[in-house]
Amino acid sequence: MTLLAYQRALIDLISSPAFCLAVRADPEALSGYDLSSRERRRLMAVVAQPGMSTSCTLYRLNRITPIARYLPLTTFLLGDALVSEAERFWTEGLPVDLQFGPETERFGRFLDRRVADGELSDPYLAEIVRLELAVNRVRVAGPGEPLLETVFFRHDPLPLLDALADGRRPDPPPLEGRYALVVDARDGELALREPG
Amino acid sequence: MSSGTSPSPALARQTVPALGVGLLYNPSLPEYLRTRPETFDYVEVIPEMFWTDRGHGTEPRFVELEGWVAMLDDIATRCPVVAHNIGLSLGSAAGFDDDYPAHIEEWNRRYRFAWHSDHLSFVRVQTSEGHDHNAALAVPVPYDREVLDLVAERIVAVQRVVSTPFLLENSVSFVDVPEQELTEPEFLNAVAQRTGCSLLLDVHNVYVNARNHGFDALAFVGALDLDYVGEIHIAGGSELGGMYTDSHAGPCPEPVWELLEWVVPRAPNLGGITFEFHDSYYPRLKEDGIAAELARARAAWNRRPAG
């Protein structure tokens, strides 16, 4: 059991610079883990080494990179808020797979909820998140799963996406109304089109 | 071998075919693979890049990325393919994924991998709620006899399922773990002797650890039983926060070449030398830069012992 506890504690340290600081300040911060005395000494030793900071940084880089890759327009809209939102999200859940597909999906839903709760006020964020999640879903759809999804917008999506593709926010703002785009991967190539 | 580990019946050493010089596949490479086939003898792929793993209990669990798989199908018609896995998590204390080797074997039957490999580390840990937590990076295991037993047992389990030789890769560690019962070379030698697996000696990883922790890289490789080395990885790295990392940042530094050139003539069962770089560094290397790294690797390959 103690090897498992050691690995859990080590991962918790790598994933949380704040926990590293807490353990450095007070070894009792490890008291929740069923560690042998040698494992405790090992963790106390490694947490004081500069290499632990490197490990923490790599952990954060490795987790934020797939978000930036799979949600690029969302990442652009978040701007400097990306890191703080990602850190807030990481305190809520744990990644479960190596490709981070489900984690990206969960991060998107987390942002959607943050918008709905009024914590994030970007007018385009929710619809862009939903679009990028739909794109990712149809791109990796398994047998029998939908290759086509409809995403609804509160802003005209064409000028919005044109602007974001150019790396800028739309100016003037797109018209507000009820719009939709179909994300279609049925022909093997991803296509966005208006319904109908 | 001086590890002092408990005796265990050694399995026959698995041998790998002598392929030559290879490249680890990344998304910047398709054009290079088409236009410069004379510069490499095989392509190494990370199978996990070609599928989405939806986790235990999902059906289907492994969903293939069609465009990527089509690319792999094309590569496999033109040259041998080697698999370099990142998902076995051999060092996890709990929750070894029994489905994973079966899926590797399924792909092995499709692509006839010359060999496959994974790392001496863990990437998953089971939480107290029973979920898998992905560590988001390969975390080294402590080199203790308990862990040796665990890793060896898992490798034997993998070997029972996957019908191509398995190679174990040495790790990068940014921290010094005190009070370990074995050195890393002792641990690797013991695993190889116990299971018959070969070693994937990443000489850049050795250089990273030696540079960060101040030990002699040559002494490290000299302590390995080089009869077991079936593949060598070479790569470049970069600085991050005062540490040198295995970021696969373009060309190999000179000390990596020196290690390679020292090891190859002493590794009689070497099957290949693989150059790894991250696709974001392609603009730094370009086609001629890749070809130059492979040419130098081939010069080293040609110095392997006869027989």
CATH (residue range B20-301): 3.20.20.150
ω into B9 cis (within 30 of 0): no
Do A4 and B94 make contact, defined as CB atoms within 8 angstroms?
yes
Asked if residue B54 lies in contact with residue B61, where contact means CB atoms within 8 angstroms, the answer is: yes
> ipTM of the assembly?
0.92
Task: Tell me how far apart the alpha carbons of residues B243 and A45 are, in angstroms, rounded to a whole number.
Answer: 17
Asked if residue B14 lies in contact with residue B165, where contact means CB atoms within 8 angstroms, the answer is: yes
| Of the candidate ranges A132-136, A138-142, B295-299, the one whose mean pLDDT is the lowest | A138-142
- Cα A192 to Cα A18, A138, B163, distances in angstroms: 43, 12, 44
Q: Transcribe A48-100 into DSSP letters.
A: TSHHHHHHHHHHHHHHHHHHHHHSHHHHHHHTTHHHHHHHHHHTT----SSS-
Q: For chain A, give every domain's residue range.
A: 2-48, 54-193
What confidence score (pLDDT) does residue B94 get?
87
Interface A-B: count of C-beta contacts within 8 A: 124
What confidence score (pLDDT) does residue A96 get?
55
Q: Which helix (H) or strand (E) holds B156?
A: helix B145-161
> pLDDT-derived band of residue A92, with 50, 70 and 90 as boundaries?
confident
A103-126: pLDDT as tens digits: 888 899 999 999 999 999 999 999
Q: What is the mean pLDDT of residues B267-296?
A: 96
B143-178: pLDDT as tens digits: 999 999 999 999 999 999 999 999 999 999 999 999
Q: Which helix (H) or strand (E) holds A46?
A: helix A37-47
Considering only CB atoms, A7 lies closest to which of B125, B136, B176, namely: B125
Within a 10 A sphere around the Cβ of B78, how many other Cβ atoms? 11
Q: What is the mean pLDDT of residues A136-163?
A: 91
| Residue B51 neighbours by CB under 8 Å, 6+ apart | A99, B62, B63, B64, B65, B69
3-state secondary structure of B94: coil
> pLDDT-derived band of residue B95, with 50, 70 and 90 as boundaries?
confident
What confidence score (pLDDT) does residue B26 get?
95
Q: Which residue has the tokens 């040559």?
A: B218
Any idea what the Cα angle at residue A165 is, between residues A159 and A167, rounded to 5°?
A: 110
> pLDDT-derived band of residue B2, with 50, 70 and 90 as boundaries?
very low
Q: For chain B, give every domain's residue range.
A: 20-301
A8-57: pLDDT as tens digits: 999 999 989 999 999 999 999 999 999 999 999 999 999 999 999 999 99
pLDDT surpasses 70 at B71: yes
Q: Which helix (H) or strand (E) holds B133?
A: strand B132-140
Q: Which residues of A touch B178 (CB under 8 A)?
A: 41-42, 45
What confidence score (pLDDT) does residue A99 get?
61
pLDDT surpasses 70 at A94: no
What confidence score (pLDDT) does residue B8 get?
55
pTM above 0.95, yes or no: no
Q: Which alpha helices (H) appear in B89-144, and where do they start and end?
A: 99-111
What confidence score (pLDDT) does residue A1 get?
55
Do A101 and B60 make contact, defined as CB atoms within 8 angstroms?
no
pLDDT surpasses 70 at A93: no
Task: Tell me how far apart the alpha carbons of residues B164 and B145 are, in angstroms, rounded to a whole number.
Answer: 27
Do B240 and A49 make contact, defined as CB atoms within 8 angstroms?
no
A157-163: list long-range contacts, CB under 8 Å, 24+ apart: A157/A127, A157/A131, A157/A181, A160/A124, A160/A127, A160/A128, A161/A73, A161/A192
Task: Tell me how far apart the alpha carbons of residues B95 and B85 are, in angstroms, rounded to a whole number.
Answer: 18
Virtual torsion, Cα B35, B38, B42, B46, nearest 10 deg = -30
Best probe of the B interface among A58, A67, A135, by most B CBs < 10 A, is A58
Do A58 and B125 make contact, defined as CB atoms within 8 angstroms?
no
Do A59 and B137 make contact, defined as CB atoms within 8 angstroms?
yes
% of chain B beyond a pLDDT of 70: 96
Strand partners, B139: B122
Q: Which helix (H) or strand (E) holds B240?
A: strand B238-240
Task: Tell me how far apart the alpha carbons of residues B117 and B142 are, in angstroms, rounded to a whole number.
Answer: 20
B204-257: pLDDT as tens digits: 999 999 999 999 999 999 999 999 999 999 999 999 989 999 999 999 999 999
Considering only CB atoms, B136 lies closest to which of A7, A95, A101, namely: A95
Considering only CB atoms, A55 lies closest to which of B63, B123, B174, namely: B174
Considering only CB atoms, B241 lies closest to which of A4, A54, A101, namely: A54
Q: Which residues of B touch A63 (CB under 8 A)?
A: 136
Q: What is the mean pLDDT of residues B82-101?
A: 92
Q: What are phi and psi of A152, to 5 degrees?
A: -95, 145
Task: Tell me how far apart the alpha carbons of residues A2 and B164 are, in angstroms, rounded to a whole number.
Answer: 34
Query: What is the DSSP pairing of strand B198-202 with strand B229-234?
Result: parallel
Can you say how many angstroms the Cα of residue B248 is from the centroid of all Cα atoms in its chain?
A: 13
What confidence score (pLDDT) does residue A145 get?
81
